[in-house]
Structure 1
């Protein structure tokens, strides 16, 4: 996944210091017309080879839902409509191999596919496929949690203040 230009510019000033970034995750549930009914759209990430829902980092001034729609289509070829916020959480700090430290605030959306066709983008995705919720490939628990919360009917999830 290429590093956005605005982050490269920030890194010139802050070096490897921790950056707080806002990310979005799209849990796309197939409806039978676009994607198999009740299956989750995942892509195999080019940066680490792992499976995950599509998503990415907000550009400065970008609205979260717009960023999500852009990222899902870029990475998978599927056009979506965000239906609801499924969760808002701050992850643990993460250090990349080059020493850059980040901490993401992730906004996860449940999405309905409205067009396009699943395909590999040649840049960020090595594979794209639809998976049953009860037969997902190995993923970190934090990612599986986002998928399950978005798949369930319910309100947005967040860690309470108390």
Structure 2
């Protein structure tokens, strides 16, 4: 998928299905430090600032994916506190023609250690940002942040349409 590295599992799927649409499980981490700052990474594939996210590996629990992805990309250790949203992202076509649609589970996470830095080749930069001084982020990331800032334990999800017989 694009210039971003993909897991051996996804690579093996792509060998079978080619560029056809894949529905994939993903997670996003909305990470706050003790000062209330937000952790963002500047993506290597498109240069935009974004929340830390990634695709689940087989056998992995979603919260484990959040912990793994944040550490792999930023060297920050986190504890997931709660699920804040569950949604299907809009379909995406990568420059190489791969098509995906992610079912994303977003977690609000608390940083518990590590120093934020670029820790792999998926990010150009990593940093902590005050909520009133964020770099530009896309609407989907902004929505995820809003859900994570909403008090309460209930996660946002799109309610199904009501069908009457």
Structure 1 residue 15 corresponds to structure 2 residue 14: no
Task: Give CA-to-partner distance per residue, 1:70-119, whole Å, 9 cap, x none.
Answer: 00011111100000001000011110011110000010000011111111
Which moved further from structure 2: 112-121 or 132-141? 132-141
Structure 1 residue 112 corresponds to structure 2 residue 115: no
Alignment partners' CA distance in 1, 2:32 and 2:66: 14
Instruction: State the 4+ residue runs in structure 1 displaced beyond 6 angstroms.
Output: none
* Count of residue pairs brought into register by the alignment: 157
Equivalent in the alignment of 2:155? 156
CA contact (8 A) 2:72 2:120 kept: no
Normalised to the residue count of structure 2, the TM-score between the two structures is 0.91
- Structure 2 unaligned regions, length at least 5: none
Equivalent in the alignment of 2:73? 75
Normalised to the residue count of structure 1, the TM-score between the two structures is 0.93
Any idea what SS the aligned residue of 1:68 has? Answer: helix
Residue from 71, 86, 89 that aligns with 1:88 = 86
| Superposition RMSD in Å | 1.0
- Residue 122 (structure 1) shift: 4.1
- Structure 1 unaligned regions, length at least 5: 32-36
Equivalent in the alignment of 1:34? none
Any idea what SS the aligned residue of 2:27 has? Answer: strand
